[in-house]
Amino acid sequence: MTANPEKQLRILYRVFLFRAVDASGLSAASDTSSLLGQILAILAAFSFVLTYVLLPRYVSSPLSKPRLLIAAWVDEEFLIATTMAITGLFSLLAWTVILPETQDSTVLSPLPVRLRTILFAKFAAIGSMLAIFGVGLNFFTGISFPFLTVPAGGQPVRTFAVYWAVMALAGAFVFSSLVGLQSVAAIMLPYRVFQRCSTYIQLFVIGTILGVYFLTPPVATVEGLTAPENEHLLAFIPSFWFLGLFQSLNGAVEPICHTLAHRAWWSLLAAFGVAVAAYPLAYRKVLRRAIEQPHVAPAVYPLFFRWAAHFVANRVFSRSLERAVFLFTLRSLARSGQHRLLMAMYGGIAFAVSIAYSKSFLQGIGEAPWYEPNIPLLSASMVLLALTVIGVRALFALPICLPANWIFRVTAIHRPADYFSATRRSLFAVVAIPIWISCTLFFLAIWPGLPSIEHTLVLVVLGCILIDLALYGFRSVPFTCSYLAGGANLKVRLGIFAFGILTITSILSGIEYWAIEKPARYCALSAILVSAALWAASRRRAFAMSTYNRLQFEKVPISEIFALDLRPESALFGDEAYVNAINEQLSRPFWKRLRPVMAFAGILLTAGFAYEKLGEWRDRRQFPQVGRSFNIDGRSLNIYCSGQGIPTVILESNWGAPGFSWVYIHKQIAKFTRACWYDRAGYGWSAPGPFPNHSDTIARDLHKLLQASGTRRPYVLVGHAMGAFHVRVFRGYYPSEVAGLVFVDPMSEDLTIHIHNHIEAFRPTVLFIDQLMGGLGLLRLASRNSGPVPSASGLSVREWATVAALRLQTKSLVATGKEPPLWIGGELARASGGFGNVPVVVLSAGIQDQEEDPELDQHHDFKMTLHAKLAGLSKRGKQVIVNSGHQMPWTAPNAVVSAVTEVVTEVRNGTLNRGSAEKD
Amino acid sequence: MGEDRALELRGVTKLYSGIAAVNNVSFAAAAGEVTAYLGPNGSGKSTTLKIITGLLEPTEGSVLFDGRAIQQDRIGYKQRLGYVPEEAQIYPRLTAYEYLEMVGGLRGFAAPRIKEKTNTFLRLFSLDGDSHVPMSSYSKGMRQKVVLAAALLHNPDLMVLDEPFSGLDISSALVLTDLIRELAARGKVVLFSAHELHIVERVSSRVVILHRGSVVANDRIEELRSLLSLPSLEEIFSQLVVEQDTRSVARELVAAMDL
């Protein structure tokens, strides 16, 4: 009877899939599905972190939609490049499975399976594995990012589909290229040479992938991609090709996208073609050779590494037990594929996070240059240390070749404390010391001496704390204790840990940055850290020396299993039964076990709170008050005036914006008359005011502020969007003081009835959440990078950062949250009546881009007529349509300046004609 | 070769979920003698040997060495015990040299002494050509040699070997046979289990046969021979332990191929 090839394909596919995942080869002791789960969890956690870091920029950006989409190119390129890099690295780990191994020849050759079926199954299995990892990596970004970057007139479904399609194609490209490379090498080189060179080829490819990934300059913008000096980059770096494909499939019109998309298609075709052509040939050749020469001896481990390991072991460790454990740990970590994989992932994530922090330099928004102590690099080194220490400690719990641990049991002739000490020293020697040394060298190279040494010392103390915390409760020789799959629940913890580590290191690096500035502060910080280290060390020592402690080789199962005597057969070492007795964790009631979680949560909250306070302190120093404060009804309001002449131009900012956002326009206006911007209560540098804070209160506050500051009348009021309501209400209350009005794409009372009504019910909740997140520092953490400066706005990088920082303040969030509902302002404005004879200019945004509410876009024409009507409220009013979106102060500041100039000129001419000016 | 009972088992029982894998086993292995521990697969041999080495705890009964229960001084006992497990489990990514070096370190020897011992043992086992290659490429027999070397490194007084001959080629088996004899001649207690009955016959003085967890024979070979009137150990074994009619089983297997 002949076998069904389809069925054979399915069976082989499963076998190869699990082998591909179990990268260390067939080792019966490893639990493949849980390893798969762990890898997926790590990738998903990484995706979550990326989403958390990238997303807020899109949700709360003041940029208009089209500009936002172009700015998104940078992030899209990053996501594509990351997917390609991860796919490449995983393909490398499956390197040995792609071409046939000895098992394939001995097991599969005698069976009636066609070569075609085997090849298909292998390709499909490895492809599936990579697809699963690709999905894991893009899990959170893939379900959020496409929906936030839908172009105007586009459908979310299409963006979503394009995102996933391009990621899949990019991954397929990398995989096919690597398979092609390996197959061609196998065909061209003699078999023995190929075997020996395989490792070196792998190393070379890893280096290339990582190098390209980390060193790709951030030129993924339209200007960058079309610049002639970047052409050679475009030829070599595939992530740009797929970026182009992504944009062109999404309907972008720039020609560079189509060029790059073409390149992507051709390269995909070429890679796939080479792979499909070369792979069967390579497979056959390797299979034949494997059968002919089954006992090709594997390469001898190079002499240098042997010598180096011995050298370190003999110098650093005096006792033979410690030397033996250290060498065993080092060699096992270095040689077990599974452990290498997980270690590479921890290290890779640490590197990626570090680079993500450092990338802010390249965008020029960092607070300090790279050659001076700065927070991103401090943070990055701490993250690297923390993740690798915790990662390797987690790996210590994963067994290698568990049945072979009998040798440790049979030679367990020393005190348990000696073994624990040996484990601890091994952790130091394998992870902490290399990182300390490299960080010291790195920082000494780029920073002045003293801060480098100070930072190194902080790293050393932190490393000691981490190691002592991590090894508390660890009772085995690394890799020799069995692993209870359900118990540890690494996957859930991992997500929490990733978030916790990032938050804590952000806060710590902020504190360290603050402390490096003065020796007294540094001493205080060191004192705290050193006492923490001593506490952690004494706690661990107490554990290690405890009389009933034993060396552990089996994870003790939960007490129910004990009671029913369902212990596994190769059961407990007699003394290990004691471990249950002293392991109070297992018999504690649930709420007690929850205590560490609550303590951890408490620490996080306190840390967040401290971070926020620290951030506010830093912001106060970094962004000193611009303007003067005046006391109005027991609270202070800030106003900044400059320039000479009358009338005085008063700038009223939009909902949510501090007065400082007018800084460029203010400068231009101050050239020909006196101009002021101010902060409403709760905004910028003004103290919070009483609520409700609708347009009436705001107008009255403004009036009192202008009187208190002695600002000369008459005023020309400029209001942007919702600020127009406040301006009109002011005019309604104090008509004699207002000589002219400029409305910058104003909100209209006949439109506000349509806006936001449906989410009015949620506003208190949203406000509460905003306040909570703000108070705990989460908003600050999320908006570390304020994004690129809008190019037309005229603001410098520092000014942009100031605006962003001012918006972040909790009092600002509260004030913003309480100003709506908009219709109140609208009705107040409607009630304030017409403008009489006063010169009025209404600037209307000609470009439809109001992302606040999609309904507004439909009412664009209606809005135009409303603006015309508004201008008609004055006998000397006019409407000007400006080629800009709603955020006119950023996108067309000069239009605003010309409108103000016009009104001021008319006021001056009118005054001259009348022959008198009103003075206060 | 006196009457001092160097290794003694008294009423050792091991229950797994109420089922006795080892049931009230008692015997003694004297110093200077070679004791063979025989029985079919699943009879409880490996379990007993693991209990003797302390890897498992007996449910009842005790193991004594030199008159003292091993629980009383585990560390001292382990220092005098050399164990070669079934299936020669080693860490395949380590080389033979690194493995023996690690064992020496775990036992607390100083580095120069470890180096000398390791090199000597590797040379004597003809492994010095492959001593810096990962053991994943070793054949079963080579791994067996490495594990044997690890057991001999510290000059133990008690040698427990679980199926040490499986996987060895003829010359290595001969070396091992002579080694066992030599160890006994030095006054050590040697206990081993094996399936190669012709070797057992040649080298051991005492035989313990286990069947379904219980001891069915515990005597010197000559006495067993005369007791059962059977000339060879294989026939004795067959008589006491083998339950199937081997010929009919073979016939049924051939018939099954046509199913």
Compare all CA atoms of chain B with the CA of A334 and give the residue at the minimum distance.
B93
Give A414's contacts in chain B (Cβ within 8 Å).
75, 108
Name residue, tokens 């007690």: A592
Per-residue confidence (pLDDT) for residue A306, from 0 to 100: 78
Per-residue confidence (pLDDT) for residue A61, from 0 to 100: 62
The pLDDT tens digits of the residues spanning A747-764 come to 888 876 555 444 555 566
Percent of the residues in chain B that have a pLDDT greater than 90, as a whole number:
49
| Rounded mean pLDDT, A725-747 | 92
pLDDT value at A70 more than 70:
yes
Q: Which of A555, A581, A613 is the last residue in one of the domains?
A: A555
Per-residue confidence (pLDDT) for residue A574, from 0 to 100: 46
Give the DSSP letter of residue A789. Answer: P
CA distance B110 to A631: 81
Which of A304, A413, A480 to mutate to probe the B interface, most B CBs <10 Å?
A413
Give the DSSP letter of residue A653. Answer: P
- Under an 8 A CB cutoff, do A321 and B53 touch? no
In this structure, the number of other CB atoms found within 10 A of the CB of residue A697 comes to 18
Q: Between chain A and chain B, how many beta carbons pairs sit less than 8 Å apart?
A: 108
The answer as to whether A581 is a domain residue is no
A686 and A762 together in one domain: yes
pLDDT value at A195 more than 80:
no
Its ipTM equals 0.87
Give B146's contacts in chain A (Cβ within 8 Å).
none
A644 and A768 together in one domain: yes
Q: Which residue of A327, A331, A410 is in closest CB contact with B53?
A: A410
Which residue type occupies A208? T
The structural domains of chain B, ordered by start, are 7-80+157-256 (3.40.50.300), 89-155 (no CATH)
Structure tokens at A258: 């189509």
Give B74's contacts in chain A (Cβ within 8 Å).
575
Name residue, tokens 């499939």: A249
* CATH code of the domain covering residue A910: 3.40.50.1820
H or E segment and range at residue A650: strand A648-652
A449 and A533 together in one domain: yes
Secondary structure of residue B66 in the 3-state scheme = coil
Q: Which of A528, A555, A582 is the last residue in one of the domains?
A: A555
Question: Which region among A143-147, A474-478, A866-870, B247-251 has the lowest average model confidence (pLDDT)?
Answer: A143-147
Asked if B38 contacts B193 with a C-beta cutoff of 8 angstroms, the reply is: yes
CA distance A650 to A674: 9
The answer as to whether A755 is a domain residue is yes
**Rounded to the nearest 5°, which phi and psi values hold at A880?**
-120, 125
Residue A504: pLDDT band (50, 70, 90) is confident
Q: Which residue of B94, B106, B132 is in closest CB contact with A411?
A: B106
Nearest in space to A40 (alpha carbons), one of A492, A533, A400: A492
The answer as to whether A10 is a domain residue is no
The answer as to whether A164 is a domain residue is yes
Q: Which of A265, A295, A325 is the last residue in one of the domains?
A: A295
A210 and A116 together in one domain: yes
Nearest in space to A388 (alpha carbons), one of A481, A462, A477: A462
- Under an 8 A CB cutoff, do A404 and B91 touch? yes
Give B75's contacts in chain A (Cβ within 8 Å).
412-414
Give A336's contacts in chain B (Cβ within 8 Å).
93
H or E segment and range at residue B31: none
A550 and A676 together in one domain: no
Asked if A167 contacts A133 with a C-beta cutoff of 8 angstroms, the reply is: no
**How far lies A764's CA from each of A53, A276, A767, A816, in Å?**
26, 60, 5, 12
The answer as to whether A333 is a domain residue is yes
A636 and A738 together in one domain: yes
| Rounded mean pLDDT, A238-251 | 87
| Rounded mean pLDDT, A32-59 | 74
Question: Which region among A40-54, A132-146, A161-175, A249-263 has the lowest average model confidence (pLDDT)?
Answer: A40-54
CA distance A124 to A181: 18
A322 and A277 together in one domain: no
Per-residue confidence (pLDDT) for residue A63, from 0 to 100: 62
Per-residue confidence (pLDDT) for residue A918, from 0 to 100: 38
Residue B103: pLDDT band (50, 70, 90) is very high
pLDDT value at A87 more than 70:
yes
In this structure, the number of other CB atoms found within 10 A of the CB of residue A757 comes to 12
The answer as to whether A583 is a domain residue is no
Compare all CA atoms of chain A with the CA of B14 and give the residue at the minimum distance.
A569
CA atoms within 13 A on the CB side of A696: 9
A186 and A326 together in one domain: no
The pLDDT tens digits of the residues spanning A320-378 come to 999 999 999 998 888 876 677 667 666 666 766 666 665 554 444 445 666 777 777 88
- Under an 8 A CB cutoff, do B103 and A411 touch? yes
- Under an 8 A CB cutoff, do B83 and A406 touch? yes
Per-residue confidence (pLDDT) for residue B242, from 0 to 100: 76
A43 and A189 together in one domain: yes
Q: Compare A561 and A214 and report the one with higher pLDDT.
A: A214
| Rounded mean pLDDT, A220-239 | 74
Q: Which of residues 24-63 of B touch A (CB under 8 A)?
A: 53-57
CA distance A882 to A743: 12
CA distance A378 to A506: 9
pLDDT value at B180 more than 90:
yes
The answer as to whether A121 is a domain residue is yes
A727 and A658 together in one domain: yes
pTM above 0.80, yes or no: no
Give B118's contacts in chain A (Cβ within 8 Å).
none
Tell whether A335 is within 8 A of chain B (Cβ): yes
Q: Which residue of A320, A325, A572 is in closest CB contact with B110?
A: A320
| Cβ-Cβ contacts under 8 Å for A314 (sequence gap 6 or more) | A323, B111
**How far lies A278's CA from each of A188, A274, A275, A693, B52, in Å?**
11, 6, 5, 73, 58
**Rounded to the nearest 5°, which phi and psi values hold at A566?**
-100, 25
| Rounded mean pLDDT, A824-849 | 85
pLDDT value at A573 more than 50:
no
- Under an 8 A CB cutoff, do B55 and A573 touch? yes
Extended beta strands in A493-644, E state: 628-632, 635-642
**Angle at Cα B150 formed by Cα B148 and Cα B154, nearest 5°?**
115
pLDDT value at A590 more than 80:
no
Per-residue confidence (pLDDT) for residue B182, from 0 to 100: 94
Q: Which residue of B56, B78, B130 is in closest CB contact with A413?
A: B78
Q: Compare B197 and A817 and report the one with higher pLDDT.
A: B197
A340 and A393 together in one domain: yes
- Which range, A112-126, A680-694, B194-208, has the best average confidence (pLDDT)? B194-208
Q: Compare A335 and A803 and report the one with higher pLDDT.
A: A803
Question: Which region among A825-829, B35-39, B214-218 has the lowest average model confidence (pLDDT)?
Answer: A825-829
The answer as to whether A597 is a domain residue is no
- Under an 8 A CB cutoff, do B95 and A301 touch? yes
The pLDDT tens digits of the residues spanning A654-692 come to 988 899 999 999 999 999 999 999 999 989 899 888 877
Tell me how many domains chain A contains: 3
Residue numbers of the domain that contains A510? 313-555
Provide the Cα torsion A502, A503, A507, A508; round to 10°.
-50
A279 and A377 together in one domain: no
